Amino acid sequence: MRLIPMLLALWACSPAGAQGLRPDALAMFGGRYAIDCAKADSPRVVVEAQQMRVEQGNQRITAGKLDASASYFGNRPPPDFRIALMGEVQGRYGMTGLVNTDTRGQYLQLDGDQAVMANLGALGKAKFRHCNAEANRQAVADQQATKQAEAAARAPVKPGTATHPSELIRDPQFKPAYLRALGPLARTPWLAEMHGPAPELSRQRIGGVDYTVAAYCMPHDCGDNNAVLLYDAAQGRVYGLLQQKGKTQTFGAPPGPMLIDLNAVWRREWGKGR
């Protein structure tokens, strides 16, 4: 490993902060990670409750104030991502251990501020395997279960059986009608995918027609970005009312009288900032 002389001071023990990993996170992600777990002197990362240490020979970088984040990459994490272990070196430089899972189990890769990465050298690009066999088996099982659940969540839903907007969007009869109704608005992910918070679907009879009623919104911003729609499955028609950043518009070209009903549905679902 090539060290940068000006930054050698990072290779020293830094005091741990008051934060720390919860017991469940420590049980799953704590312990020793190494480039080669079979070799006691292999470069390694040791994750403890209060700190994370990168060690090679008699040198080490210690990150205190350790914390964990499952939402490090937001709503769309990489498929193998499990957790981000974040700490501070000397209370100034950020260092993160990104824990991922593959078919062999868990592994950790390092990221951090420029000064930290400069000191790590080749270790900043290394893959450290978890040396706990049981944690690796559990991680693989969890990953498989998650992928199965995600596949089930993408599977088509038999027309007429959806009970929630996240299922309705997978109805092969509803989806094309809905996207046609949205028109250019289909380029807005939360609208096109209907993946935000939402109550269960309901039914409402309007003008002698039975409609499916759906209300849904943008993740983390329901107050300013939300919508309702009425779906006539028999005729394949979708009428909707959308609020985005305080501005209201319709989609699906609802006829004049239908606007009264759409507004009533919107007030019931979102009028109080639900």
| 10 and 144 share one domain | yes
Are 144 and 223 contained in the same domain? no
Looking at the domain assignment, is residue 157 inside a domain? no
- Whether residue 188 sits in one domain with residue 66: no
Summarised one tens digit per residue, pLDDT across range 198-249 is 999 999 999 999 999 999 999 889 989 999 999 999 999 999 999 998 899 9
Span 66-91, mean pLDDT?
A: 92
Is the pLDDT confidence value at 14 over 50? no
Residue 85 pLDDT: 97
Both ends of the chain: CA-CA distance in Å? 55
- Residue 224 covered by a domain: yes
- State the pTM of this model: 0.57
Rounded to 5 degrees, φ, ψ at 49 are: -60, -40
Does 160 reside within a domain?
no
**Amino acid of residue 130:** H
Lowest-confidence segment of 11-15, 37-41, 111-115, 197-201 by average pLDDT:
11-15
Tell whether 171 and 219 lie within a shared domain: yes
**Interatomic CA distance for residues 112 and 93, integer angstroms:** 7
Q: Encode pLDDT of 143-188 as tens digits.
A: 888 877 776 667 788 998 999 999 999 999 999 999 999 999 999 9
- Residue 83, helix vs strand vs coil: strand
Is 158 inside a domain boundary? Answer: no
Evaluate whether residue 180 is within a structural domain: yes
Domain boundary among 123, 151, 179: 151
What is the pLDDT confidence band of residue 76, given thresholds at 50, 70 and 90? confident
Q: 95, 123, 151 — which closes off a domain? A: 151
Do 131 and 266 lie in a common domain?
Answer: no
From 151, 178, 202, the end of a domain falls on: 151
CA–CA dist 120, 63 (Å, integer): 13
What is the reported pLDDT for 1? Answer: 42
**Residue 109 belongs to domain spanning:** 5-151
238, 111: one domain: no
Confidence of residue 4 (pLDDT cuts 50, 70, 90): very low
C-alpha to C-alpha distance for 64 and 17, rounded to whole angstroms:
5
* 26 in Cβ contact with 73 (< 8 Å): no
- In a domain, residue 156? The reply is no
111 and 211 belong to one structural domain: no
Find the CATH number of the domain harbouring 240: 3.40.1420.10
Provide, rounded to the nearest whole percent, the portion of the chain with pLDDT above 70. 90
- Contact between 11 and 119 under an 8 Å Cβ cutoff? The reply is yes
Number of domains composing the chain = 2
- Which residues lie closer than 8 Å to 171 by C-beta, 6 or more apart? 156, 157, 158, 159, 160, 161, 162
